[in-house]
Chains A and B, each alone.
Chain A
């Protein structure tokens, strides 16, 4: 199997699994217990907290709070900020956020909040002047992602943070789930107040996330109960998963593979765009402004779900932004916000690589893909349009 769907989830690294294993057997204690076993568990949790803090450049490990997933982190951040500022009823976010942010903000609109939805241009880039214009005295929160999950387009959170800090009193939350371990991140040198991340995107297991909460900022507990995580998030710590996340963060810092992954991605992207006439890139062409592992390509006048199934048959895993990828039958909001034409959005395929991909993976994909696209293009009702793009 060739796995090119790493923005969906990743394989647990062998190093991560090895680090977790003792905590699934002999070290089974509760880190809140006072005995030696409990203290060992506590030590493991705090050790992991340091690794997470190091990877994202937090000033102190205490700024990291473990959660169950990225969505919990986003929900807690947003709901928490709003709860601490009951008189401010304005939120700024973007039209291309992950559902965890987008659907929550839609819900908040129904709860009396006013949301400014910042759009993007056809490259997927944010208009910072629109952000400046949207900031108000009653803006409680600005929530903007670091890297788009579908296109890999990066938002300049350093600059966004500066604008938010200088021109408002709003709290700045960043959904960093798709970016962590893929690009260097140094939060202490930004104006980011809250930052969500998720373990399973960086070779830790599913079911573990974290929220960075800048020192001095206090959020009410999202899950109420015991005093875990310094009273910030109740619920017995998921120690094996926390240890896994810590090990994954350490691995990402010590051996990040960024350049090798980017070289593979570039080879894949370049060849596809060069050899397949109806292929077009979604997201800005400048690779410095995109994640190094992601390539979102539309195959015009053919259907992404059909491409996906054919690749699947060939043992290659990818994602599609086409409407049929989920039960909702709605095409990707990100591609819609970028004004990608209907007939291209329907044929979009996301290739997302990881440290475990090889040259052979890329070459096999490049061998298989053109035939699939040609077969589906030959079936397409859009023969005149396909003839035009072949010229």
Chain B
């Protein structure tokens, strides 16, 4: 049984529906119980999730989790949203899977639309070499983790960590 805040989210779910166009949509479903949840998001130019909406057919745990997640990730960057993680299991974890799927669609679309006039280092959140260099320079960053926190590069699959390391090394000029 749900109580308190979770129950309120079940009986009065927030952000139900579809995000405005252009939107990116993700789905997750359970073959065990038949639950099905759909997240749609809008992402602004600063890569922030500016709008989150969901639709779901599922139990009270799933609906409460979905509703709470929409509030939690609104305003975060796609990288922050994709890495907040979830402690939930079974039905409760499905909304997070659907959100990740929506972010993936956004990333795939944005990557396809990448103009290609500068080198792309982080392909998950498409951060260019120039952006990373600028962040390192202006903020005096020294580790991959700091770079990720600063500009999302490396927050996804992790395959660019080596490249970021190399950029850090190149920029680590003697004082």
* Residues of A in contact with B (beta carbons under 8 Å apart): 301-303, 305-306, 309-310, 313, 322-324, 329-331, 342-343, 345-347, 376, 378-383
Contact = CB atoms under 8 A, between A and B. Distances in A.
B34 A342 contact: yes
A322 B33 contact: yes
Given A305-B59, A306-B60, A306-B63, A381 B90 contact: no
B24 interface: no
Contacts of A309: 10, 59-60
Contact of B32 (A301, A330, A378): A330
Interface in B17-31: 27
A379 B13 contact: yes
Contact of A329 (B16, B60, B90): B90
By Cβ-Cβ distance, the 3 closest A-B pairs, closest first, are: A323-B33, A324-B59, A305-B59
Interface stretch (B35-43, B105-113, B129-137): B35-43
Interface of B: 10-11, 13, 16, 27, 32-38, 55-61, 63, 90-91
Contacts of B35: 303, 323-324, 346
Given A305-B58, A322-B33, 20 more contacts: A303-B34, A306-B60, A306-B63, A313-B11, A322-B34, A322-B59, A323-B34, A323-B35, A324-B33, A324-B58, A324-B91, A329-B90, A330-B32, A343-B34, A347-B57, A379-B56, A380-B55, A381-B27, A381-B36, A381-B57
Contacts of B58: 303, 305-306, 324
A310 B11 contact: yes
B11 A331 contact: no
Contacts, number: 70
Given A324-B91, A378-B16, A379-B16, A303 B37 contact: no
B59 A331 contact: no
A292 B110 CA distance: 60
B32 A381 contact: no
B2 to A, nearest CB: 8
A238 B139 CA distance: 80
A379 B13 CA distance: 9
Contacts of B37: 381
B33 A331 contact: yes
Residue among A301, A324, A330, A331 having the largest count of chain B Cβ atoms under 10 Å? A324
A338 B34 CA distance: 17
17 contacts: A301-B57, A303-B57, A306-B57, A322-B59, A324-B33, A324-B35, A324-B58, A324-B61, A329-B33, A329-B90, A342-B34, A347-B57, A376-B57, A379-B57, A379-B63, A381-B37, A381-B57
